C-alpha cells in the first residue's frame, strides 16, 4: 500500500487556491473529466498534487455542490444520521445531496456538537449526558463504538418492523402516540422479534474476546451483524451502500421528526430489557 509522495517533496504548491487555479481546474475537468487525479495537475497546468486537486474539486468546485447555510431540516438529518452512522461523514453526506463530507464534518464540529452538548446530550453517544451509573440507559454498551452498533441495530430493527408492517399490512402501530408496550410486544412476537431473539442468543455465546468491535468490523469484509445473524435476509453490513440498507435508512428517516432520535434510546432500552 504505497503512499503518494508528499507535495513538499515535489515542490508543489500548498495552501489556499487562487481563482486562477480554480479556473484552470474547472476548465480542464469540464473538457476532459478528471481521469487520473495523479496526472491531472500536470495536464491542467497546475502546480498542485492530485490529491489537492481532487479535494478542491469535490469539496468546492463541483457544479452540484450546494453552498450556503444548512437548513434546520438538514441539521436534524445530520444529527439523526450521526446517531446511526457515527463519524462516517461520507456516508452521512451521501444522504444530503449537494453537501460534502468536509462541510458536514465542519458543521458537526462547530455547531451541532455544541448544540447537543447544550441540550445535555452526549454528541458521541446521543444519550443524555446527565445519565448516571444507575439509570437504565447505562445498560447500553459502554464504548461509543459498540453503542453505535447497538443504536444501528435498533434502527435496523425499527426499519425492519416498518418494512414488515408494510408488506404484511399488519397494523403495527408506531411507537409514537400508542403505548410503547403494545408496540414492542407486537414487535417482539413478530418475525423481527424472533430474529432478534436469535441474535441475543448468539451474542450470549460469544466469548468476551470475540465481542463485536468496530475495528473488527472495519477489517472484515463481512459485517459483524451478519456474523451473528445468519438468519437475517437483509444486508448485515453497516455500510449504507446497499439498496436494502438504503430503504431501511429511508424508513428510519421517515420517522416523525419531532421525535428525533429519541426512539433509539427507547428502542435501546427495550433491547436491553430483553
Alpha helices in the chain (DSSP H): 19-32, 40-44, 50-56, 72-85, 89-93, 101-107, 113-118, 144-168, 180-189, 191-204, 214-219, 224-228, 243-253, 262-273
User: Minimum distance between the CB of residue 174 and DNA, rounded to whole angstroms?
Assistant: 30
Reduced to 3 states, what is the DSSP secondary structure of residue 26? Answer: helix
The stretch among 81-89, 151-159, 203-211, 246-254 that binds DNA (CB under 7 A) is 81-89
Residue 180 or 226: which CB sits closer to DNA? 226
In angstroms, what CA-CA distances link 74 with 101, 129, 211, 224, 255?
Answer: 13, 24, 35, 30, 15
Q: Does 75 bind DNA (CB under 7 A)?
A: no
User: Minimum distance between the CB of residue 263 and DNA, rounded to whole angstroms?
Assistant: 24
| Residue 251 contacts residue 163 (beta carbons within 8 Å) | yes
Residue 84 or 172: which CB sits closer to DNA? 84
**Which residues between 1 and 20 bind DNA (CB under 7 A)?**
1-4, 6-8, 13-17
Q: Does 90 bind DNA (CB under 7 A)?
A: yes
One of 62, 66, 87, 179 touching DNA (CB under 7 A): 87
DSSP letter assigned to residue 112:
I
Distance CA 185, CA 181 (A): 6
Instruction: Note every long-range contact of 134-137, with CB atoms under 8 Å and residues 24 or more positions apart, other chains counting.
Output: 136/269, 136/272, 136/273, 137/265, 137/268, 137/269
User: Minimum distance between the CB of residue 81 and DNA, rounded to whole angstroms?
Assistant: 11
One of 27, 32, 39, 197 touching DNA (CB under 7 A): 39
Distance CA 213, CA 250 (A): 26
Residue 17 or 255: which CB sits closer to DNA? 17
Which residue is listed with cell 449537494? 98
Site size with DNA, rule: CB under 7 A: 45
DSSP letter assigned to residue 177:
T
Residue 37 or 188: which CB sits closer to DNA? 37
**Which residues between 143 and 182 bind DNA (CB under 7 A)?**
none
User: Minimum distance between the CB of residue 117 and DNA, rounded to whole angstroms?
Assistant: 11
**Which residues between 195 and 224 bind DNA (CB under 7 A)?**
218-219, 221
Residue 180 or 242: which CB sits closer to DNA? 242
In angstroms, what CA-CA distances link 235 with 220, 229, 252?
Answer: 15, 10, 16
Interface with DNA by CB under 7 A: which residues?
1-4, 6-8, 13-17, 35-39, 48, 50-52, 54-56, 59-60, 69, 87-91, 101-103, 105-107, 109-111, 114, 218-219, 221
Amino acid at each position: 500500500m504505497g503512499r503518494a509522495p508528499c507535495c513538499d517533496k515535489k515542490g508543489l504548491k500548498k495552501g489556499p487556491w487562487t481563482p486562477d487555479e480554480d479556473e484552470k481546474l474547472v476548465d480542464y475537468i469540464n473538457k476532459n473529466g478528471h481521469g487520473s487525479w495523479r496526472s491531472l495537475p500536470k495536464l491542467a497546468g497546475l502546480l498542485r498534487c492530485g490529491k489537492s486537486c481532487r479535494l478542491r474539486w469535490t469539496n468546492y468546485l463541483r457544479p452540484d455542490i450546494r453552498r450556503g447555510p444548512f437548513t434546520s431540516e438538514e441539521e436534524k438529518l445530520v444529527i439523526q444520521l450521526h446517531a446511526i452512522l457515527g463519524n462516517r461523514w461520507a456516508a452521512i453526506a451521501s444522504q444530503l445531496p449537494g453537501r460534502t463530507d468536509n462541510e458536514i464534518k465542519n458543521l458537526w464540529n462547530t455547531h451541532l456538537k455544541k448544540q447537543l452538548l447544550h441540550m445535555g446530550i452526549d454528541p458521541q453517544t446521543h444519550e443524555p449526558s446527565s445519565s448516571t451509573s444507575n439509570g437504565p440507559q447505562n445498560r447500553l454498551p459502554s464504548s461509543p463504538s459498540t453503542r453505535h452498533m447497538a443504536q444501528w441495530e435498533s434502527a435496523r430493527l425499527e426499519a425492519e418492523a416498518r418494512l414488515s408492517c408494510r408488506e404484511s399490512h399488519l397494523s403495527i402501530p408506531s411507537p409514537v402516540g400508542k403505548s410503547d408496550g403494545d408496540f414492542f410486544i407486537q414487535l417482539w412476537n413478530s418475525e423481527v422479534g424472533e430474529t432478534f431473539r436469535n441474535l441475543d442468543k448468539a451474542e450470549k455465546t460469544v466469548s468476551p474476546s470475540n465481542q463485536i468491535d468496530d475495528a473488527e468490523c472495519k477489517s472484515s469484509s463481512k459485517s459483524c451483524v451478519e456474523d451473528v445473524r445468519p438468519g437475517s435476509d437483509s444486508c448485515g453490513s453497516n455500510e449504507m451502500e446497499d439498496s436494502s440498507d438504503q430503504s431501511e435508512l429511508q424508513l428510519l428517516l421517515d420517522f416523525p421528526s419531532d421525535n428525533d432520535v429519541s426512539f433509539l434510546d427507547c428502542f435501546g432500552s427495550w433491547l436491553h430489557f430483553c
